[in-house]
Chains A and B, each alone.
Chain A
Amino acid sequence: MTTKKTFPHPIGENVPRVDAHEKVTGAALFADDIQFGPGLLFARIKRSPHPHALIKRIDVSKARSFPGVKAVVTGEDFPGFTGLYLQDRHIFCRERARYVGDPVAGVAAVTEDIAERALELIEVEYEPLPGVFDPEFGASPAAPLLHPDLGKYKVMNFIFPAPGTNISNHFKIRKGDAAGAWKDCAAIVERAYHIPHIQHVPIEPHVAIAKVDTHGKVTLWGSSQSPFAQRSLIATAMGISPADVQVIAPYVGGGFGCKAGLSMEALAVAIATQVRGRPVKLRLTREEEFYTAFVRQGLVSHFKMGCDKAGNLLAMENRFYWDGGAYTEYGVNITRASGYSSTGPYDVPNVSTDSFCVYTNHPVGGPMRGFGMPEMHAGLEQCISELAEKIGMDGMEFRKLNCVRTGDTIVTGMIMHPTGLSECLAKAAEAIGWGRKDPPSAPNKRRGKGIALMWKAPAMPPNAGSSAKVDLNEDGTVTVSVGGQELGQGSFTIAAQMAAGALGVPYKDVRVNGPLDTNTSPYEWQTVASRLTWSMGNAVVAAARDARKQIIDMVAEAWNENPDNLDIVDGSVISYKSEESIPLKNIVIYGIPKPNDQGWMGGPVVGRGNFMPGYVTGLDPETGQGPRAVVHYTTGAQAVEVEVDMDTGRVDVIRGVAAFDVGKAINPDMVRAQMEGGFVQGMSTALFEGLQLKEGVLQNSSFVDYRIATSSDAPQDIQTIIVEEAQDDGPWGARGIGEHALVPTVPAIANAIYDAIGLRPGAPPFTPEKIYLLMQEAGLVE
């Protein structure tokens, strides 16, 4: 059994997860598990039933006098603006509600039931207004204006809103001359896709417990991917120091982006200001999780792409209309990220892209696994296959010819770093048996194969930083502290592996300091963007090397040796010269005696380390060109084999292949687990998922009506292939893999459906109804 091994050299080893034991015994603590005793109050939120309405009057007097109610708050109590990139919202609506679910008032009471009953006593008078439910329409002059004050909002310098419209960001790429290139194209494909909103649906709903003491110090316990960002946003909103905000964030029961930044936590903190000294717990019901938590925003994407006779891609012209929802939050940056990656992983000399974030009366768009890439690739990778066919090339060969390679000048003008994309493509094609057609399992079924590529860069500010600390203990064990969250992806395990590897101690001797606590954990920007293995990893390595240097310098002096001759191996300092050795035990706390009983030297060893990329440059606002837009791209390929049931339209994914270039797999088994889990999540979005918003009202806000993949849907087999083209500034060459694993799944399945039935399914979800109607329309079935 693996758990008994010690792993003296843990990098690249399948060590067991540090959090597994507590998670299988029920001991692992999640935010809702924390006990607060009888002083705990419960909050519930009154929400707008209208997608767009003026608030004419709110009367909370009856709710306020209801027995057991301790506080009732409305937008009147909190006039300030908040927002991550563009400050366009209040914590509670003032004057205007912009989506169904927009918080209008909040109640704190001694029980959740009483708080819920008090909500019914709050009277709100609305004047409904016409809404915007399509981003392309929303961007047009005909659309009602949702944020008349857009020009007055505070905004970060790389976001470009268009006041007087519903456009909260417009990102442009102008590379080469796309308009002039069409005449040289032998084949052109032009398509549009309406990608639906989907929901993250972590199994753990959002929960936050906030306490504000009489001096104004704030404590927040929550299920959070971003404790430090929350600390900063709360401090700014309340006009206090981040040092007076403490965010405690235990394990996250699935995040996928929806627990990044500050969302419902702000409501809990706001209510807590009115009941000082008492913790206030707010947890979203599953229904609220569906219609009020960050959604993966919808996208209307238009692609035009062309190639020459030999199949070389010559030009792309892309227009993306992102359905950012009522407030922008992350949407404006997703718009930007999809713009600067808008060619997909292809070498295209002439590119014109306009990526718009548009206000609508839909739920607020947030970051979801892939940060715009799955939505964008869904259409792009179908177009690529269609263009290949049009010019008479096999889809795999076309990709092989055009995919981005080391040294290419990519869409933003940045030079592509070493990438193993071609190898991913070749290996995925080989593993799926590309070009070989297997017979279907039944006469009423048709079988097909599909392939798709992807790329994705961490989308973050250029200077997002990480830090780490390494403490040595009396027995030579090591406690590593990080501020990056463990949300299932294995970040704590990676931190322990890297600390062990860089310090020279066995993996079994490393512990990870948790839960995260902004008062005691080292700073980490956010657990998003698949950046921890790389960024936090670099900080951990730096901290471990710092500790190692302290230990080696101390022993070298005591032994009167050159530090270069010393090493730490398997938990002991050894000298390659004198062949002496001393275990870390004791010396890392109590120091080491000087020669001839002349006293002591050393002391408790604490290593510190940090990392921040310093090389990302700005982009020209008119052309989107600049020397280095991003830190790096993780690239990869997926191939699938599907069967389509001609009687029902049902699509079964029989098997999948995933090949990604992760630079270096620190823990290959956990890398494979990300690839498998991402594949099934991607498959779920391809076959089942879509928020049905009718005039802004969500029609499917339960697991019965919004289906996600179950154990019976998972394919029989998912083959995972690790490609390792080292990242120059990654720890041992590593870069991230978490989000990437679902980016190409939708188009790979779409392309396989085409291979099976000869019809392109377009936008997901590829439900039996959709596929059957498609086949019916084409005369394939009656």
Chain B
Amino acid sequence: MTIHRITLSINGSSEQVDVSSNLTLLQMLREKLALTGTKNGCMAGECGACTVMLNGEPVNSCMVLAVECDGAEVLTVEGLAKDSVLDPIQESIIDQGGVQCGFCTPGILISARALLDRKPNPSEDDIREALVGNLCRCTGYLRIIEAVQEASERQLQTASGD
């Protein structure tokens, strides 16, 4: 198996990693870099637990080969909080009670962050659509949807306050 040396930015930090051709981005994060916040739920791109942002777009990291990420920017759940200050979506999902077992949470947070980046004031339908690839077996989704709405409001308030 050929080993490739790739360089990429993960949560704002530059990393050099040696990866085999068939290693997925998810495996690289979890097994090579011990960034275990990103979860492995199905290895088939069906559950969304492994969602990360790749160059600003949410992707199932189990469906992306690590070698494709040479030069890329990756954001994982570990990179959402800045200087120990939680992202508004992290704050809101706590306040709305949208966390139960927590296994889908990292992927949901990334999908929600990507939506809010793209569309700061999303409708409820936008939110439901943005999260449709992130399965959650515990919460029933309503509190997560409310958390995204609340995060959007918080962000807009902060923006208008500046």
Contacts and interface: CB of A to CB of B under 8 A. Distances in A.
Nearest to A741: B140
Interface stretch (A88-96, A410-418, A707-715): A707-715
Contacts of A25: 37, 77-78, 80-81, 86, 90
Nearest to B131: A711
Contact of B137 (A2, A202, A205): A202
Nearest to A34: B36
Contact of B127 (A35, A286, A711): A711
Q: Which 9 A-B pairs have the closest CB atoms?
A: A26-B37, A253-B103, A488-B101, A680-B140, A23-B102, A488-B100, A33-B36, A26-B77, A703-B46
B103 A202 contact: yes
Interface string B32-62: 0011111111111011010000000000000
Interface in B70-117: 76-78, 80-81, 86, 90-91, 93-95, 97, 99-106, 109
A205 B80 CA distance: 25
22 contacts: A2-B95, A3-B95, A16-B95, A24-B93, A24-B99, A25-B37, A25-B86, A25-B90, A33-B30, A205-B41, A253-B101, A676-B140, A702-B44, A702-B46, A703-B42, A703-B44, A704-B46, A709-B141, A711-B128, A711-B134, A714-B140, A718-B142
Contact of B101 (A203, A676, A678, A711): A203
B95 A1 contact: yes
Contacts of A673: 97, 100, 139, 143
A669 interface: yes
A681 interface: yes
Contacts of A20: 94, 99
Contact of A712 (B47, B90, B128, B139): B128
Contacts of B94: 3, 16-17, 20-21, 24
A254 B137 contact: yes
B36 A203 contact: no
B101 A251 contact: yes
Contact of A203 (B95, B129, B137, B145): B137
Given A24-B86, A33-B36, A204-B39, A710 B135 contact: yes
Nearest to A714: B141
Contacts of B49: 203-204
Contacts of A489: 100
A622 B142 CA distance: 47
Interface size class of A (residues with CB under 8 A): 35 or more
Contacts of A35: 34
B47 A203 contact: yes
B3 interface: no
A679 interface: yes
Contact of A256 (B78, B86, B104, B137): B137
B90 to A, nearest CB: 4
Given A204-B41, A205-B42, A488-B138, 16 more contacts: A24-B93, A24-B99, A24-B105, A26-B35, A30-B39, A33-B30, A203-B47, A489-B100, A490-B100, A677-B139, A680-B139, A704-B46, A711-B144, A711-B145, A715-B142, A718-B140
A225 B107 CA distance: 24
A32 B102 contact: no
Contact of B43 (A16, A17, A286, A711): A286
Contacts of A19: 99, 102
Interface string A547-563: 00000000000000000
Nearest to A489: B100
Contacts of B138: 254, 488, 677
Contacts of B30: 33
A158 to B, nearest CB: 32
A19 to B, nearest CB: 7
A677 B103 contact: no
B132 interface: yes
B52 to A, nearest CB: 11
Contacts of A23: 99, 102, 105
A606 B99 CA distance: 32
B101 A202 contact: yes
A254 B139 contact: no
B154 to A, nearest CB: 10
Interface in A485-510: 487-490
A289 B38 CA distance: 20
Interface string A222-254: 000000000000000000000000000001111
A201 interface: yes
Given A1-B95, A24-B99, A26-B76, A286 B41 contact: yes
B113 to A, nearest CB: 12
Given A203-B135, A253-B101, A718-B142, A286 B78 contact: no
A20 B136 CA distance: 16
A420 to B, nearest CB: 23
Given A202-B137, A488-B100, A673-B143, A253 B42 contact: no
Interface in A716-743: 718
B20 to A, nearest CB: 10
Interface string B14-42: 00000000000000001000111111111
A16 B86 CA distance: 15
A253 to B, nearest CB: 3
B84 to A, nearest CB: 9
A37 B159 CA distance: 45
A285 interface: yes
Contact of B42 (A16, A286, A711, A712): A286
Contacts of A488: 100-102, 138
A711 to B, nearest CB: 4
A542 to B, nearest CB: 27
